[in-house]
Amino acid sequence: MRQNPRHGTRPWLLYGATGHTGGLIAQHAMDRGHRPVLAGRSASAVAEAGERFNLPHRVLALDDAPGLRAALGDVELVLNAAGPFLHTAAPLAEACLDAGVHYLDIGNELQAFLALYELDERARRAGVSIIPGVGFGVVATNCLARQVSEAVGGAERLEVAAKIASPQPGPGAAAAMKANLPFGGWIRQGGELVQQELFSGTVTIDFPDGPSAATPVPTGDLEAAYHATGAPNIISYAARPLDAPTPGDQAVGSQTYRSFGWARATGADGATAESVLETGDAYAFTTAASVRAVEETLARSLAGASSPASAFGTDFILTIEHTSRV
């Protein structure tokens, strides 16, 4: 197996390489000099991806714990791009802990975050990083959340929102939402997760491209933002334009696609701070951010379960091309 001297002596593994986002990540990783091992559960699809990218590949069965651990013996890190993460995150992370391998994923599912953060102590003992949410939905809001919380001397109340735009949305987000709907709606109050009616409490947030309807959603942001800031009261929103554009108005790859992250912190004294991140296609951001997270994790070798901002700092978002804080 060919090694990559630029990014360590052992390769890393991309699980979910046969999916829409996984394929984008594989190509971007190669463009940056990586040669990840491609993996998934379908033998034919994995072989096809391996041939298309000319990369090593293997089939992984998540319900075969001994086989899964053995398959990770020659890699340093696993990046999981296969949702719903409710089903894939825990078995992969458990195998990574047993094999002494770092675990990252691009998910933003609350239940998966809860399960992964429960592994913190084991990860510390094993010297392993567990960092869920290295895609757009969490990275954008998490880095901003930490920034605005620091600006008010520690947030008492924190609100975060993601506004996603992409010319080629993949099917993963819809599948993840369907899998997680039975768990209902959640916010954080007084440091605890509190259930509320799903999708209730819509507000309007002003983004640089105009006002948007923002609906509370039970995403991994509720855990990631708490990890990054310690704020006891947190709401995570999904934002959409009040007047959605007509399909076809924007061409594939057009620079007019604008995605945003937003965060607002309120301190104990009532002081507020607000920050906005602007980028282009949200899937392009996820592709770039996940590979950058791989590079940072391999370089830092942190131990324990972390949020992206806790692991990589508030300026991590600025290392992503076509991304800026507004």
Instruction: Please write the tens of the pLDDT for every residue from 63-115.
Output: 998 989 999 999 999 999 998 999 999 999 999 999 999 999 999 999 999 99
Strands (E), the chain: 13-15, 37-40, 57-59, 77-80, 102-105, 129-131, 155-163, 185-189, 192-196, 203-207, 210-216, 233-241, 259-267, 272-279, 304-305, 324-325
Instruction: CATH number of the domain at 18, please.
Output: 3.40.50.720
| pLDDT band at residue 250 using 50, 70 and 90 as cut-offs | very low
Report the chain's mean pLDDT, rounded to a whole number: 91
35, pLDDT greater than 70: yes
Query: Based on the domain organization, do 209 and 242 belong to the same domain?
Result: yes
Query: Based on the domain organization, do 171 and 125 belong to the same domain?
Result: no
Residue 212 lies in a domain: yes
Q: Are 204 and 216 in contact (CB under 8 A)?
A: no
In terms of residue numbers, what domain contains 180? 136-282
Residue 229 lies in a domain: yes
Residue 319 lies in a domain: no
Query: Based on the domain organization, do 74 and 196 belong to the same domain?
Result: no
Residue 276 lies in a domain: yes
Residue 112 lies in a domain: yes
Cα-only R_g, the chain: 19
Give the model confidence (pLDDT) of 195-243 as tens digits. 999 999 999 999 999 999 999 999 999 999 999 999 999 999 999 988 6
Query: Based on the domain organization, do 294 and 227 belong to the same domain?
Result: no
Query: Based on the domain organization, do 129 and 140 belong to the same domain?
Result: no
How far is 311 from 203, CA to CA, in rounded Å? 31
Residue 38 lies in a domain: yes
* Total structural domains within the chain: 2
Residue 193 lies in a domain: yes
Query: Based on the domain organization, do 141 and 101 belong to the same domain?
Result: no
Query: Based on the domain organization, do 179 and 198 belong to the same domain?
Result: yes
Instruction: CATH number of the domain at 196, please.
Output: 3.30.360.10
- Which DSSP symbol is given to 36? P
Query: Based on the domain organization, do 77 and 126 belong to the same domain?
Result: yes
Query: Based on the domain organization, do 100 and 20 belong to the same domain?
Result: yes
Closest Cα to residue 320, out of 276, 300, 290?
A: 290
Which bin fits 174, alpha (ψ -120 to 50), beta or left (φ > 0)? alpha
Closest Cα to residue 205, out of 215, 219, 218?
A: 215
Give the pTM.
Answer: 0.92
Closest Cα to residue 236, out of 272, 199, 209, 208?
A: 199
Query: Based on the domain organization, do 38 and 127 belong to the same domain?
Result: yes
Q: Are 74 and 1 in contact (CB under 8 A)?
A: yes
Residue 323 lies in a domain: no
How far is 215 from 242, CA to CA, in rounded Å? 12
Query: Based on the domain organization, do 66 and 77 belong to the same domain?
Result: yes
Mean of pLDDT values over 236-259: 65
| pLDDT band at residue 183 using 50, 70 and 90 as cut-offs | confident
- The residue assigned the tokens 């000319």 is 54
317, pLDDT greater than 70: yes
Query: Based on the domain organization, do 158 and 269 belong to the same domain?
Result: yes
